Amino acid sequence: MGSAENEVSSMQLQVENLRTAIREISHEISNPVGVLRMATYFLEATNPSPEKKSHYISLINDSLDKIEANLQRLKILRENPTKRISEIPYPGEASTSPETQTPLS
C-alpha cells in the first residue's frame, strides 16, 4: 500500500471515529436534556413539597454534570481527533491503558 493510500485510509478511520463519537455524545447529552425539561416542567407546573423540589433540583444538577462531562470529552476529542471515544474517559474516571481498550467495530 502506498503512502497516499495509507493517508487516505488514516483519514477515513479518523472520520469514522469522529462520527461514532458525535453519535455517542449526542445521545449522552440528549438524555440529560430530557431530564432537565421534565424537572423544570414539574417545578413550574406543580407546587412540589420541599422534598420533591429538592429531588428535582438534584436531578437538574446531576443532568448538568453529565452534560459538562460530555462537553469535556468533546474538547479532548477536538484536541486529539485520532482518539477513539472509548479511549476518552469521563472526567473523574480512571482511564485504562490503551492495551486494555477494545476497538470500536
11-33: per-residue pLDDT in tens? 888 888 888 888 888 888 999 99
Asked, for residue 57, whether it belongs to a domain, the answer is yes
Whether residue 50 has pLDDT greater than 60 = yes
Asked, for residue 85, whether it belongs to a domain, the answer is no
Which residue range forms the structural domain that includes residue 71?
Answer: 31-80
DSSP 62-81: HHHHHHHHHHHHHHHHHH-T
Q: What is the pTM of this model?
A: 0.71
Domain count, the chain: 1
Asked, for residue 17, whether it belongs to a domain, the answer is no
Residue 32 contacts residue 63 (beta carbons within 8 Å): yes
Asked, for residue 38, whether it belongs to a domain, the answer is yes
Nearest Cα to 69, choosing from 49, 42, 44, 88? 88
